[in-house]
Chain A
Amino acid sequence: MATTTTVHPAAATYRSGLYEWLTTTDHKKIGIMYVVNSFIFFFIGGVLALFVRAELAQPGLQYLTDEHFYNQIFTMHATVMIFLFIIPMLAGFGNYVVPLQIGAPDMAFPRINAMSLWMLPLGGIILLSGFVLGGTAAAGWTSYPPLSSDRPLASTGPGQDLWIMALILIGTSSILGSINFLVTIFKMRAPGMTLFRMPILVWTVLVTSVLVLMATPVITSALIMLFIDRNLGGHFFDPATGGNAVLYQNVFWFYSHPAVYVMVLPAMGMISEILPVFSRKPLFGYKAFVFATAGIGALGFSVWAHHMFTTGAVFLPFFSLMTFLIAVPTGVKMFNWIFTLVRGQLTFSTPLLFALGFLSMFLIGGINGAFSASVPVDYALHDTYWVVAHLHYVLFGGSAFGVFAGVYFWFPKMTGRMLDETLGKIQFVLMFIGFNLTFFPMHVLGLQGMPRRIADYASAAGWNDLNLAATIGGFLIAASMIPFLWNVLVSLRGGTPAGDDPWEGNTLEWATSSPPPPYNFDRLPEIRSERPVFDMRHGHGAGGHK
Chain B
Amino acid sequence: MSSSPRNTRPSDLILLVILVVTMVALTVAFFAGGYWDGMFPPDAVTTQGDEIRSLYDIVFWIAVAIFIVVEGLIVYSVIRYRRKPGQDDLPVQTHGHNLLEIAWTVVPTLIVAYLFVISFQTLSSIDAVARTPDVKIRAVAEQFRWQFDYLADDGVTTLFTEEVATADLGGGMHVPVGVNVQLELTTPDVIHAFYVPRFLFKRDVVPGMTNVFDFTIDPAEAGQTFSGQCAELCGTGHRVMLLDVVAMRQTEYEAWKAAKIEQANATPAPTASAGPVGVTLTVGALNIAFDQLSLEVPADQAFAIDFTNSDPPGVLHDIDIRAADGTVLQDQPTIDGGESTTYTFGALPAGAYTFICSVHPIPAMTGTLTVR
Contact of B209 among A239, A364, A453 (CB under 8 A): A239
In the assembled complex, A65 has its CB within 8 A of some CB on chain B: yes
A153–B189 touching, CB < 8 Å: yes
B287–A65 touching, CB < 8 Å: yes
B119–A320 touching, CB < 8 Å: yes
Contact of A448 among B2, B66, B197 (CB under 8 A): B197
In the assembled complex, B100 has its CB within 8 A of some CB on chain A: yes
Output the nearest chain A residue to B95 by Cβ-Cβ distance: A282
A327–B200 touching, CB < 8 Å: no
- Name A358-415 residues within 8 Å CB distance of B: 359-360, 363-364, 367-368, 370-371, 373-377, 379-380, 382-384
A245–B74 touching, CB < 8 Å: no
Contact of B81 among A341, A364, A367 (CB under 8 A): A341
In the assembled complex, B92 has its CB within 8 A of some CB on chain A: yes
> Which of B23, B122, B198, B204 lies at the interface centre, i.e. has the most chain A CB atoms within 10 A of its CB?
B204
B70–A334 touching, CB < 8 Å: yes
- Name B1-38 residues within 8 Å CB distance of A: 1-2, 5, 9, 11-12, 15, 18-19, 22-23, 26, 30, 33, 35, 38
B208 to chain A, nearest CB (A): 3
B96 to chain A, nearest CB (A): 4
The interface residues of chain B lying within 8 Å CB-to-CB of A156 are 312-313
The interface residues of chain B lying within 8 Å CB-to-CB of A144 are 190-191, 232-233
Output the nearest chain B residue to A426 by Cβ-Cβ distance: B15
B10 to chain A, nearest CB (A): 10
B238–A425 touching, CB < 8 Å: no
Output the nearest chain B residue to A277 by Cβ-Cβ distance: B1
In the assembled complex, B131 has its CB within 8 A of some CB on chain A: no
Contact of A279 among B2, B55, B81 (CB under 8 A): B81
- Name B169-219 residues within 8 Å CB distance of A: 189-191, 193, 195, 197-198, 200-204, 206-209, 211
B95–A284 touching, CB < 8 Å: yes
Report Cα–Cα, A240/B48, bound state, in Å.
Answer: 33
A286–B95 touching, CB < 8 Å: yes
B235–A154 touching, CB < 8 Å: yes
Report Cα–Cα, A543/B94, bound state, in Å.
Answer: 9
In the assembled complex, A133 has its CB within 8 A of some CB on chain B: no
Contact of B233 among A285, A374, A453, A466 (CB under 8 A): A453
Interface stretch of the complex, out of A8-16, A46-54, A192-200, A432-440: A432-440
Q: Interface size class for chain B?
A: 35 or more
Report Cα–Cα, A343/B55, bound state, in Å.
Answer: 39
B235–A546 touching, CB < 8 Å: no
> Which of A316, A321, A377 lies at the interface centre, i.e. has the most chain B CB atoms within 10 A of its CB?
A377
Given known contacts A288-B101, A332-B101, A374-B55, A425 and B12 CB-to-CB distance under 8 angstroms: yes
B116–A321 touching, CB < 8 Å: yes
B202–A310 touching, CB < 8 Å: yes
The interface residues of chain A lying within 8 Å CB-to-CB of B84 are 345
Output the nearest chain B residue to A342 by Cβ-Cβ distance: B77
Contact of B237 among A67, A335, A336, A371 (CB under 8 A): A67
Interface residues of A (CB under 8 A from B): 61, 65-68, 71, 138-140, 144, 146-147, 150-154, 156, 239-240, 243-246, 279-282, 284-288, 310-313, 316-317, 320-321, 324-325, 327-328, 331-332, 334-336, 338-339, 341-348, 356, 359-360, 363-364, 367-368, 370-371, 373-377, 379-380, 382-384, 422, 425-426, 429, 432-433, 436-437, 440-441, 443-444, 447-449, 451-457, 465-466, 502-504, 537-538, 542-546
A sample of 22 inter-chain contacts (CB < 8 A) reads: A67-B287, A144-B232, A150-B189, A152-B314, A243-B208, A282-B93, A317-B120, A324-B116, A331-B104, A332-B104, A343-B92, A345-B84, A371-B60, A376-B126, A379-B202, A383-B193, A433-B23, A447-B39, A448-B197, A465-B33, A544-B93, A545-B95
